[in-house]
Amino acid sequence: MKLKICHLYPDILNLYGDRGNVMCMQKRLMWRNIEAEITQVPYGDNSSLSDFDIFFIGGGQDFELGLLISDLKTGKGDNIKAAVNDGKSFLCICGGYQIMGRSYELRDGTKYDYLGALAVHTVSGKSRNIGNTITDTKDYGAIVGFENHIGMTYLDEGVVPLGKIRLGFGNNGEDGTEGAIYKNVICTYQHGPVLPKNPVLCDAILETALKRKYGRADLAPLDDTFENEAHDSVIKALMDRQK
């Protein structure tokens, strides 16, 4: 078995060690004797995206996100949307989450029209939302991470939240949601990087990609004792601070 992982825009969307998510997927496949082929597709690279099984898009600053508009219009944006509709797996963090949506409107009225691969839209808030996060999800348990964003994202038709925010700001600080799920696309504002902190989420992404490609997912159990202890200790420490 082999999965091909595409790291989109590693040269621009590279904040907060988010590339650790790609490394985590690679390692958790390798430990199961499943080959992982990592390809970086930077700004200006119009190579075909049709052969990839998993796509990762990290976070960036507002001005960097604006730079991507011209690149997405070269055909790359259409290829990304085609991959979404074909059931390919995506993990999109922060700025990567935003560009998958319909639009981002800045406080000065500037509006970036993005991919529209997901029915979500983002507006710039008045202040940054920074801090540790805990999100309760139906399928992956409690997800821990770290958020740092000024964008306020709202989910529109056909998109469900990744989960409900227990600690932190989440999508917009108003409706209690965090992240978004559409088809096999998972979006979140949680850095960390999020996958090493939440191995259950990582394995779920890998399993989905394997099932789509091979019709089955032979993911042997791993000894996640240390990972789980770290995960649980973070939740305990953060909740103790709220008392």
Where in the chain are the domains? 2-241
42 vs 242: which has the higher pLDDT: 42
Provide the total of helices (H) and of strands (E) in the chain, helices listed first.
7, 12
Burial environment of residue 22 by CB neighbours within 10 A (0 to 12, 13 to 18, 19 or more): buried
Let me know if 191 is a catalytic residue.
Answer: yes
pTM value is 0.96
Neighbours of 236 (CB within 10 A): 10
Q: What is the pLDDT of residues 149-166, one digit of tens each?
A: 999 999 998 899 999 999
Q: What is the pLDDT of residues 110-161, one digit of tens each?
A: 898 999 999 999 999 999 999 999 999 999 999 999 999 999 999 998 899 9
Task: Report the distance separating Cα 83 and Cα 77, nearest Å.
Answer: 10
Task: Please provide the CATH number assigned to the domain covering 2-241.
Answer: 3.40.50.880
Query: What mean pLDDT is reported for the chain?
Result: 95
Q: What is the pLDDT of residues 17-53, one digit of tens each?
A: 889 999 999 999 999 999 999 999 999 999 999 999 9
Q: What is the pLDDT of residues 170-195, one digit of tens each?
A: 999 999 999 999 999 999 999 989 99
Report CA 98 to chain centroid distance, whole Å. Answer: 10
- Catalytic annotation, pick one of 121, 149, 191, 231: 191
Confidence of residue 218 (pLDDT cuts 50, 70, 90): confident
Q: Where are the beta strands (DSSP E) in the chain?
A: 2-8, 35-41, 54-57, 89-93, 103-105, 111-113, 120-137, 141-155, 163-167, 177-178, 180-182, 185-188
Over range 193-215, report the average pLDDT.
Answer: 98
The pair phi, psi for residue 54, each rounded to 5°, is -130, 140
Can you give the pLDDT at residue 60? Answer: 82
Can you give the pLDDT at residue 20? Answer: 95
Let me know if 94 is a catalytic residue.
Answer: yes
- Catalytic annotation, pick one of 6, 92, 94, 202: 94
